Amino acid sequence: MQLLEYQAKKLLKRAGAPVPVGRVIGIHESPGKVTFPIVVKSQVPVGGRGKLGGIKIAKNNQQLRQAIADVNRATIKGYLPSCLLLEQAVDIRRELYLSLQVNRDDRQVEWIASENGGVEVESHSESVCVISCKDVSAHEKLAKALSVPTKMLSPLLAQLEHCFYDNDLLLLEINPLVLTNGTTLVCADAKVIADDNSRFRHADFDWPNVEQIKPLGGTIGVIANGAGMAMSTMDAIYASGAKPANFLDIGGGTGEDVFVKNLRFINGLSGVTCVIVNIFAGITHCDDIARGIIAAKQQIPNLVPLFIRLEGTNRDEASELLLDAGVSLEPSLASCVIKARKVAK
């Protein structure tokens, strides 16, 4: 699972690696007293924010207010920020690329480094250098590849290795690793993919809680149980000429809270006009989903219309609960799609 930048930087800080001074604020929270210049960074689980308006630098309070408003509004690959990271801007002399990752084919962990870090790193493949962590002269080779003195780089490499192994990471990517005017190195951005199988060993992690939702940019939201069910729901939406707003397999045994949390997230995706709930309950109980739907109607402001198909365990109880709450069920997925299509237009 990919962590948000601020969560990744917490791990870096814990390992002693240099990160900019920063603080997380909610999207509606006031920034309070800050030191300028400051960078406002959208916290979304995808990269490329710089190019898409998710990173803004402010030099005074007026610019800061504007930057926060702009970053809050910017949709990054289908995501709106769940919170913002405010960081004291670093002075950039050079932007480098450095990452550690598991190479499954070669059964080893390796470093990848490039002198040309920053937003355009993909276009500099010729300068990318891959070095096995087992290589006894890895530190010297990396220093050479990045054109920085080994003495300056080596402590950081040790900190990154600690961060990587102590937290069971699959990827730790620093892009850019910034060489500042003061000739020190700072991890200005961090992308971390943690191993889901090691979750039990890191109960203290801030695990993101809506990781299974994949935004797709369309207008009809989808909540289904089972990946096959989610995919066939998406197929039916595509076949009708519309586009799904997301992929979500909400899983078996879904209770009221999980349902509400996921629906809240989908309702907040930009462009969503309605949501199809397609549940064929086995382990899941339809009455739990029904309670989730009723709770969502009370708790989620500006909730879009829901078109609901429920079958399986406790379907009749669910149907009664929903009838009492004035919510009707659709007889089939096809009728959900027809109604959703009308709203989406």
Environment class of 279 (CB within 10 Å of its CB; exposed 0-12, middle 13-18, buried 19+): buried
Shortest CB 172 distance to ligand GDP, Å: 14
**Main-chain dihedrals φ then ψ at residue 102, nearest 5 degrees:** -80, 125
Among residue numbers 273 through 302, which ones bind ligand GDP (CB under 6 A)? none
Binding-site string for Mn ion from residue 69 to residue 88, where x marks contact by CB under 5 A and - marks none: --------------------
For residue 274 the two structure tokens come to 């309605």
Integer Cα distance of 165 and 171 in angstroms: 10
175 scored as a contact of Mn ion (CB under 5 A): yes
Catalytic residue (one of 97, 140, 161, 238) = 97
Contact partner at residue 220 from Mn ion, ligand GDP, none, CB < 5 to 8 Å by partner kind: none
Integer Cα distance of 235 and 216 in angstroms: 13
Shortest CB 37 distance to ligand GDP, Å: 7
Nearer to ligand GDP, 123 or 197 (CB): 123
Nearest to 117, CA basis, from 103, 132, 127? 127
Shortest CB 175 distance to Mn ion, Å: 4
Token look-up 């790193």 returns 121
DSSP codes, 188-210: ---EEEE-GGGGGG-TTS---S-
89 scored as a contact of ligand GDP (CB under 6 A): yes
The H or E element that residue 311 is part of is strand 306-312
Catalytic residue (one of 87, 95, 173, 330) = 173
User: HSE of 239 in the Cβ direction (CA atoms, 13 Å)?
Assistant: 10
Residue number closest to ligand GDP, CB atom? 50
Contact partner at residue 118 from ligand GDP, Mn ion, none, CB < 5 to 8 Å by partner kind: ligand GDP
For residue 57 the two structure tokens come to 């630098």
Q: Which residues bind ligand GDP (CB under 6 A)?
A: 39, 41, 47-50, 55, 89-90, 92, 95, 118-119, 175-176, 188-189
| Active-site amino acid positions | 97, 173
Q: Which residues bind Mn ion (CB under 5 A)?
A: 175, 189
